[in-house]
Amino acid sequence: MYRAVRPLLFQLPAETAHRTVHTLLRAVQATPARYALRERYVVDDPRLRVHAFDCSFPNPVGVAAGFDKNAEIPRALADLGFGHVEIGGVTAEGQSGNPRPRMFRLPEDEAIVNRMGFNNEGADVVGRRLDSQPKPDVPLGVNIGKSKSTPLEEAPSDYRYTYERVADAGDYFVVNVSSPNTPGLRELQHGDALRNILSELVDAGADPLLVKLSPDLHREAVADAVDLADELGLSGIIATNTTTERPDSLQHPNRVEDGGLSGKPLEGRATDQVRFVAQRTDLPVVGVGGVFTAEDAYEKIRAGASVVQLYTGLVYEGPSIARDINEGLLDLLDRDGFDTVEDAVGADL
């Protein structure tokens, strides 16, 4: 059915189509129709269950940050069969983000370029929404970014302000210092800048706390970030965010747009980053980048990811993607003789 509808959605600007889907899911979330979604899309099998960073995941397939920036549809996404939902990025101040257009499809490449710029309603609004609405029955992560107007040297207090507004609702929290669309943000991935932010949040009681890294970081910087996460007692690492690089294989004219590239072209690079991180720490790793199929998810799991996340795959494959991946994972586990997903984590390391 989605294959029939997708050409109509793709005639709309990418951000307009996203908002249309959002509005539909928000409407369904408030009605008994959500139970029909669960019946159709949720795969309930104990072999898929994963326990990581003090969270129990019914399956390893989650929605990455960016799809539900303002925590409007986390229950609807869980009803589509996802094993966790990460909302945000949320910033201390509400902000409109970068000028439109700021999201671009590359259909031939199964990719998206975005330069959204952390558009969201702000920590006060999102925090109140999270506190007032029922939570999904899967782990809820909150991705925290820096307000655009906040100087880099004041970033720790900015992150702390946001955390304190969402602290009661999140099951885990993510420090996002790797988006390419906020000026200077990626400078915070290094040295004392990252240490100061993470230390501030540890002091504030953020737990479980994860850090999300860029695929464009040099390996030495990735290793340093992993060492810092171990030193400070963080709960996990997310690999990876979008990339500003453009592979030569890209075909669509939108490849020239500024912003972060996500989707299939990032798949191999993201899996390499998962493997690199997992080889250097016992902390759980969340694998993100180019997950469209069960094989994509399984490759990241075998490379060391305890759970995976997707966004662009949902845009191209539609609402059945979590169900399809989870059913496919069960087949792959049977093929390779693993009793559970957890048994396959890091099998290729």
Check if the beta carbon of residue 280 is closer than 8 Å to that of residue 289.
no
Q: What is the CA radius of gyration of the chain?
A: 18
135 annotated as a binding-site residue? no
162 annotated as a binding-site residue? no
212 annotated as a binding-site residue? yes
181 annotated as a binding-site residue? yes
> Which residue in 179, 214, 235, 306 is the catalytic one?
179
118 annotated as a binding-site residue? yes
117/15 Cα distance (integer angstroms): 13
70 annotated as a binding-site residue? no
**Residues, the chain, total?**
349
300 annotated as a binding-site residue? no
Pair of tokens at residue 134: 């029922």
211/189 Cα distance (integer angstroms): 9
293 annotated as a binding-site residue? no
88 annotated as a binding-site residue? no
59 annotated as a binding-site residue? no
Check if the beta carbon of residue 13 is closer than 8 Å to that of residue 64.
no
- The beta strand positions in 37-195, using DSSP E, are 50-52, 55-57, 61-63, 84-90, 103-106, 111-114, 140-144, 172-176
Active site residue 157: no
66 annotated as a binding-site residue? yes
129 annotated as a binding-site residue? no
69 annotated as a binding-site residue? yes
H or E element at residue 163 = helix 155-166
- Report helix, strand and coil shares of the chain as percent, to nearest 5: 45, 15, 40
290 annotated as a binding-site residue? yes
244 annotated as a binding-site residue? no
261/305 Cα distance (integer angstroms): 21
Q: Which long-range contacts (CB under 8 A, 24 or more apart) does 30-38 make?
A: 34/75, 34/76, 34/79, 35/79, 37/76, 37/79, 37/80, 37/319, 38/79, 38/81
346 annotated as a binding-site residue? no
125/272 Cα distance (integer angstroms): 37
Pair of tokens at residue 307: 């759970």
| Max CA separation in the chain (angstroms) | 52
148 annotated as a binding-site residue? no
Check if the beta carbon of residue 343 is closer than 8 Å to that of residue 311.
no
Pair of tokens at residue 319: 């609402």
- The beta strand positions in the chain, using DSSP E, are 50-52, 55-57, 61-63, 84-90, 103-106, 111-114, 140-144, 172-176, 209-213, 236-239, 260-263, 285-288, 305-310
241 annotated as a binding-site residue? yes
176 annotated as a binding-site residue? yes
Binding residues for FMN, by number, are: 65-69, 89, 143, 176, 212, 240, 263, 290, 311-312
Binding residues for substrate, by number, are: 69, 114-118, 176, 181, 241-242
The residues annotated with a catalytic role in the active site are 179
Binding residues, by number, are: 65-69, 89, 114-118, 143, 176, 181, 212, 240-242, 263, 290, 311-312
